[in-house]
Structure 1
């Protein structure tokens, strides 16, 4: 009887310890107020251009024929996707932080915002190519927000969203969400800076993640989701699955013992 009780106790411990708690599967739970003004201010800061970013630049004027040279023509190729067109027709920031504009040559844009680049290009065009009466109007946008997902997530690989701002939850939803076996408490964001790459940790189960300076992703971010220990153990994701696994193991052991006893 004691052996039976001990066996059942061990089985119960295995089932409970190898289950994934329900609270670890939920997003944005109330875990205490941690409002931070600094984090909110950081979120509102505009993105500053980095190396390898691709810019979409449009120049408009009263006489549009005069600015054709500045505008991409790949949109007429219906066989090319929007991502492919942006790669071939966009202006890529080289390793020195420069873009190369027709007639204007190389212009350094590293660390500038898109609004600052618009003002810079308008000024240079008026100084070197046009008069005030041409009514030059320049728009500059990033050619989509590109990021990469890897680890324990629905869809791995590079994604592109054509939005100005994308938060981490939207990015993960676009990648097929995090399965039950993914660690939502410690998601890694690998971000590119002029000085190199840095790793940031965020807890998606905490509602205060929305106050994090890393809540909104940036171009070229990599999102890595670690697997939970239960995934490495090969156990089920809930008590019923674990009980079934334990029952299968016990059945195999019992059968083996019976076979040996018959020999």
Structure 2
């Protein structure tokens, strides 16, 4: 009986506990720890897609001259997410945005810089001279992503940055829980031809070489649970031993009571 209990404890300990190597992000595997490795960014300029929200600002020496090209907004609400929804430029199903006076512009598949150049050229060709010093800024009105599963705060978040890594997105969502699978984080990304799914091993530093390491608007991130969560025996050695001992104590008590009846 003692041997059986001992074997059960040891087996539960090794099977149920989560190894430390499964919890550490971006590990440099099979490399010298003292070596310094410089990685080149592999992110490419983002290209506008359907349902993207763009923020477009047009400025000039005399701001009154360009006021007709901008959407008026309440200054008190200018920086709120709600204001961006109502005052931003949404890419419709045909890949167009509607800019006051300029009308519809097709931006599908264009980078933010290409859209800016298109607007500047149209303004200078049709409405202004070079002396007006037209200055156009085009940005994504927030980088929106949705994250679900084993994270501290699942849901939809918006980060006002040009580039966001999946590590930043996860950190902004409360980090992956102890029972979250860092080796198989699922990223569902929208493309003009449909959706594509990719899996990232966040415990491996080589993941930084993946184009999916950088979040894009409307990405859907899913962190699946480890098997240890469904087993319910605990995630640490102490928790596992406590659970197993409690179960054995219960079984022993039931057996003793049944013999006394």
CA distance in 2, matches of 1:130, 1:205: 54
Counterpart of 1:224 in 2: which secondary structure?
Answer: strand
Instruction: Give the counterpart of 1:97 among 95, 98, 117.
Output: 95
| Alpha-carbon shift at residue 158 of structure 1 (Å) | 0.7
For 1:172, what is the secondary structure of its paired residue?
helix
Out of 105, 108, 111, which is 2:109 matched to? Answer: 111
**Helix, strand or coil for the counterpart of 2:183?**
coil
Name the SS of the counterpart of 1:77 in structure 2: helix
How far apart, CA to CA, are the structure 1 residues paired with 2:198 and 2:231? 27
Contact 1:25 1:180 (8 Å CA) reproduced: yes
Partner of residue 34, structure 2: none
Match of 1:195 in 2: 193
Whether 2:6 is the aligned partner of 1:8: answer: yes
Equivalent residue, structure 1, for 2:176: 178
- The offset of 1:241, in angstroms, is 0.1
Displacement, 1:161?
Answer: 0.8
Q: Is the 8 A contact 1:40 1:213 kept in 2?
A: no
User: What is the alpha-carbon distance in structure 2 between the residues aligned to residue 168 and residue 142 of structure 1?
Assistant: 18
In structure 1, stretches of 5+ residues that fail to align are 34-38
Q: Retained in 2: the 8 A contact 1:55–1:143?
A: yes
TM-score, scaled relative to structure 1: 0.92
| Matched pairs, number | 254
Change (3 A) 1:124 1:54: same
CA contact (8 A) 1:40 1:212 kept: no
1:77 aligns with 2:76: yes
Pick aligned residue for 1:122 from 120, 123, 128: 120
| Residue pair 1:185, 1:203 contacting (<8 A) in 2 also | yes
Instruction: State the alpha-carbon separation in 2 of the partners of residues 181 and 56 from structure 1.
Output: 39
Superposition RMSD in Å: 1.7
- For the 8 Å contact 2:179–2:226, the answer to whether it is kept is yes
1: CA distance, partners of 2:164 / 2:70: 27
- Other-structure match for 1:215: 213
Could you tell me how far apart the structure 1 residues matched to 2:75 and 2:233 are?
54
Contact 1:58/1:70 (<8 A) preserved: no
Q: What are the residue-to-residue correspondences of 1:148-163 with 2, within 5 Å?
A: 148-163=146-161
* Match in the other structure for 1:36: none
Structure 1, 3-12 or 108-117: larger mean CA deviation: 3-12
Determine the structure 2 residue equivalent to 1:53.
Answer: 52
What CA distance in whole angstroms lies between the structure 2 residues aligned with 1:23 and 1:171? Answer: 22
- Structure 2 counterpart of 1:27: 25
1:205 aligned residue: 203
Shift of 1:233: 1.2
Q: 3-state SS of the aligned residue for 2:158?
A: strand
Shift of 1:4: 2.0
Tell me, which stretches of 5 or more residues in structure 2 are unaligned?
Answer: 32-38
